[in-house]
Amino acid sequence: MDLVKLSRDSQALFKRLADRFPPDQLRMCRESGKGCEWNEMVDIMCAVLVKRNVPVTQDERDALADLLAMYPVPVEGYDYINKRDEILAALTVTPGTDCR
């Protein structure tokens, strides 16, 4: 796994989605990113997007799919990463180019 790419891509996607996250999950993602806990950050992002029906663009969905594809599953302790196909299918994808 290319950790530099994982770091860069997960941070970039998080920045795009951050204004749609509740404060507590926003803080958890930021702390995970600062601690280089990319698995935790990606898993939290997936959980928030699905559980809260956060709208995403097709580009954001594709970026998440690319992130999840970097992981050789199963990844112990990360339920959302391990269920990547289900997570991607459950996303609320909007037809527009901007969900803000």
Domain boundary assignment for the chain: 3-93
Q: How far is CA 9 from CA 51, 64, 95, in A?
A: 22, 9, 22
Instruction: Using pLDDT thresholds of 50, 70 and 90, give the confidence band for residue 97.
Output: low
* pLDDT for 96: 66
For residue 55 the two structure tokens come to 């709208």
Alpha helices in the chain (DSSP H): 3-17, 23-34, 38-51, 58-69, 79-82, 84-90
* Prediction pTM value: 0.89
Neighbours of 21 (CB within 10 A): 20
Q: What is the pLDDT of residues 18-67, one digit of tens each?
A: 999 999 999 999 999 888 898 999 999 999 999 999 999 999 999 999 99
